Structure 1
Amino acid sequence: MARNPERRTALLDAAIEVLAEEGARGLTFRAVDARAGVPTGTSSNYFAHRDQLLSQVADQIFVRLTPEEGSLETALRPEPTRELVVELMRWLARRMAAERTCYLGLFELRLEAARRPELRTQLTKVLRADLDENIRLHLASGMPGDADTVRLLYFALTGLLLDHFTVPGLHDERALDTLIETVVTRIVPEA
């Protein structure tokens, strides 16, 4: 297996783009090589098989979706209130929109995981770790609500963003902000 970490990252980023634009069926080594602008056969030097590529794509998506160092701490500085939760959820939605390709790739991986047990195991591990970290941060920062509050916010935002990215005419940016506020107001108790 090849060991150039920069090239591996470029191939994984190309795979995310292919997933987002062509779906899981379009994700081939040849398509990744073409998207990355590397010679045909390069991907197969880095990934033993397609399932390995899919699993590592899941990890790369979360690397790209991880906030910049210190940005989360800065966002959590104000008084922990329901209003702050609204702002944090809006911030999160904007971050996901900025990484739309990653988020669409993640939707494709979720669908593919329904058919591939190995990918399901890896994706479950990655998503579980992310959800657990969100719960930990919410509770540690003193935000109103409990672990179930975070789970409900997660499910609601996931659904809102699925619609927002896949059927964008369903609601506009302003409507998304309003829906986020409504969701938070109905789920998060007052402090």
Structure 2
Amino acid sequence: MPGRREQVLDAAVQVLGEQGTRALTHRAVDARGNLPSGTTSNYFRTRDALLAGILGYLFERETAAFATLAGAPRPVSVDELAGRVGALLRQLAGPARTLTLARHAIFLEAAHQEALRVELLEWSSKLWAWAGEWLAAVGSGRPEKHARQLLAYGDGLLLDRLARGGDDEFAPEASLAALLRALVADD
């Protein structure tokens, strides 16, 4: 059973991911989480505090997902890495769609709020290092630079998929493999 703070943050992610930043209010979070009025405000006095709490919560959730991937054996080929990243993107665009939309909304808020941007960069550095290890395993001579490019490309694919939708199957592996081949050859 999740604690009350986690209930608040889960409801906040739902509001943010389903309705966007304009809908994110303490009252909306209380309503979405079926929480007594004022609960969200008790944990997060201001909207900025709520946004910072959501960012930390998203990091926890995504870190757990990435830790699962990081625990897998390192990929041995560009195609294997493209397959793993493609599977992750499908998860983020499908079953984890609301979480992904909330993450993108927080990214946009970080463009205007220094405190969020600092936290985002700290977490991103960890992600770039992890992805860099996998890129080094498939032959990248500049793994951290290439990790940043790969993850930016993946976020672009996600944003396009989430914003524009599509009835076709989301299969990013071929374009990911092409990018990875170009990155590995760019040494």
The TM-score with structure 1 as length reference comes to 0.82
Could you tell me which residue of structure 2 aligns to residue 117 of structure 1? 114
Distance 1:68 1:28 in 2: 30
Distance 1:168 1:185, change over 3 A: farther
Show structure 1 runs of 5+ residues with no match.
none
Could you tell me which residue of structure 2 aligns to residue 67 of structure 1? 65
Distance 1:70 1:120 in 2: 26
* Correspondence 1:2-21 to 2 at 5 A: 6-21=3-18
- What's the secondary structure of 2:3's corresponding residue? helix
Q: CA deviation at 1:107?
A: 1.0
Could you tell me which residue of structure 2 aligns to residue 45 of structure 1? 42
The TM-score with structure 2 as length reference comes to 0.84
Distance 1:128 1:72 in 2: 15
My pick for the range that moved more, 31-40 or 17-26, is 17-26
Q: CA deviation at 1:69?
A: 5.9
1:51–1:118 CA contact under 8 A, matched in 2: no
2:74–2:134 CA contact under 8 A, matched in 1: no
Distance 1:117 1:70, change over 3 A: closer
1:61–1:106 CA contact under 8 A, matched in 2: yes
Could you tell me which residue of structure 2 aligns to residue 144 of structure 1? 139
Read off the aligned partner of 1:85 and give its amino acid letter: L
Could you tell me which residue of structure 2 aligns to residue 26 of structure 1? 23
My pick for the range that moved more, 178-187 or 112-121, is 178-187
Read off the aligned partner of 1:165 and give its amino acid letter: L
1:16–1:57 CA contact under 8 A, matched in 2: yes
Distance 1:167 1:67, change over 3 A: same
Distance 1:174 1:108 in 2: 22
Could you tell me which residue of structure 2 aligns to residue 182 of structure 1? 178
Q: Given the alignment of the two structures, is residue 164 of structure 1 paired with residue 155 of structure 2, yes or no? A: no
Q: Given the alignment of the two structures, is residue 89 of structure 1 paired with residue 89 of structure 2, yes or no? A: no
2:82–2:174 CA contact under 8 A, matched in 1: no
Distance 1:143 1:166 in 2: 32
Read off the aligned partner of 1:164 and give its amino acid letter: R
Q: CA deviation at 1:68?
A: 7.4
Aligned length: 182
Distance 1:174 1:34, change over 3 A: closer
Distance 2:69 2:114 in 1: 35
Distance 1:131 1:52 in 2: 26
Considering only aligned residues, what root-mean-square deviation do their CA atoms show, in Å? 2.5
Read off the aligned partner of 2:65 and give its amino acid letter: P
